[in-house]
Amino acid sequence: MAKQRIRVAFCVDSFAIGGTELNAVRTAEALDPERFDLCVLHLQTNGPLRARYQQLGLRMIHFSIPNLYSIQTAIRGLRLAQMLRSWQTDVLHTHDIYTNIFAAPWARLFSRCSVIASRRWWYDAPRPGLVKLNRWSYLFAHRVLGNSSSVAELLACDEGVKPDKIVEIPNFLEENAFEPVDEAFRIAQRRAWSIPDDAFVIGTVARLAPVKNHTLLIKAAARLDSRFHLILVGDGPLRAELEGLSRQFGIESRVHFAGEVVSRINLNQFFDITVLCSLSEGFPNSLIEALAAGRLVVATPVGGVADVIEEGVTGLIVPPDDPAQLADTLQKLEGDRELRIRLGEAGRELVRNRFHKDIVIEKLSALYEMLADRSVVA
């Protein structure tokens, strides 16, 4: 008799492109369908990542809530618990702050499944009032997943989560993140972004939002000569402001806005250096993607960055408020190809050994299997 598949319900807020959302859909794609029967519960209906779930043929259920406090939300919560019972769900896994708050309490109180809540951010909650509600939601979870050592420590020290409830499972990389494109394609893509062939390209893949601190990068680029070009991959509310800042500094011809790019190709390989100058991070996908591409990473020391970037070993660290130091660092790196290669190769080896899909997904799968056995769940 074939072993019955474990039923896992993902609960996600949206299908937008972001670190949390991409990690969730990549996890859905990576889980072994012979071991797990997966369904997706979602609070919002549309977004570019929805198609990837649909391509997997998964059952998808929408729970529309006006806010986190209304009678209608309570009714939806009871409906969610009923759905979990009727589907005989083994594990509910919430992936973000909104689904932690909405789904974890109802699932724990009114269904029989095990509950995993998630913490994938540092301190930058969407609204201050959500922080206490999210902390309260952890009380209903059997396990709380942190995606880096720093986030796991934050859960224990700042959020008061008992250490035996915390599980550290990082973001992961698929094999294609390590696969290089040929040089002709690399040149063609840079030309498509209007970057000269002889340019030294500094790149970043991040949403154009205040927390990503693109202003620092543009101010640093303004201190560099015409050999240096900056490519910003991503879109967001600060695009117009950042374009205006580039014009203000007279470097608009050297700052290229690629917009949102959906691709299975690791975009970092089109850069010479990747920079991540965020003000706050949990554990950024773009960081390990850059290292998988063999690119030297210059980053600010925030959140889970320190779990991957060791100064002078797997990358370089700069302060989040000093454009002169960032510019000086980039200037020196342009002239030291040997250092770029050495640190890039060290970073690539690190992420292959710690963050490859096969390693991380097996750890998560083992967690699901353990929690599906209700006799061992605390």
pLDDT in tens, 57-72: 999 999 999 888 889 9
DSSP 311: B
- Judge whether 113 and 90 are in contact, CB under 8 Å: yes
Q: What is the mean pLDDT of residues 83-101?
A: 97
Eight-class DSSP state of 49: T
Tokens representing residue 267 in the block: 């975009």
Q: What's the confidence (pLDDT) of residue 378?
A: 60
Q: How far is CA 41 from the centre of its chain?
A: 19
Mean pLDDT calculated for residue range 172-186: 94
Rounded to the nearest 10°, the torsion over CA 168, 174, 180, 185 is: -120
pLDDT, position 1 = 39
- pTM of the shown model: 0.85
- SS3 state of residue 38: strand
pLDDT in tens, 95-149: 999 999 999 999 999 999 999 999 988 767 777 788 899 999 999 999 999 998 9
The three-state DSSP-derived secondary structure of 329-359 is HHHHHHCCHHHHHHHHHHHHHHHHHHHEHHH
Side-chain half-sphere exposure of 282, counting CA atoms within 13 A: 26
pLDDT tier for residue 3 given thresholds of 50, 70 and 90: low
Q: Please, what is the end-to-end C-alpha distance for the chain in angstroms?
A: 30
Q: Which of 35-44, 190-199, 240-249, 297-306 has the lowest mean pLDDT?
A: 297-306
Mind listing the domains of the chain with CATH numbers?
Answer: 6-172+356-372 (3.40.50.2000), 175-354 (3.40.50.2000)
**What is the pLDDT at residue 243?**
98
Amino acid 300: pLDDT: 96
Q: What is the mean pLDDT of residues 343-369?
A: 96
* pLDDT, mean of residues 226-239: 96
Q: How far apart are CA 71 and CA 81, in angstroms?
A: 16
Averaged confidence pLDDT in the chain: 94
User: What is the per-residue pLDDT for 67?
Assistant: 87
| More confident: 283 or 374 | 283
Average pLDDT, integer, range 10-16: 96
| 259: pLDDT strictly greater than 70 | yes
Are 275 and 254 in contact by the 8 Å Cβ rule? The answer is no
159 CB burial (10 A radius; 0-12, 13-18, 19+):
middle
**CA angle 304–20–17, rounded 5-degree value:** 125
Please give the average per-residue pLDDT across 37-45, as a whole number.
Answer: 97
What mean pLDDT do residues 70-81 have?
94
Percent of the chain with pLDDT over 70: 98
Question: Which one, of 41, 63, 173, 90, lies nearest residue 365 by Cα?
Answer: 90
SS3 call for 33: coil
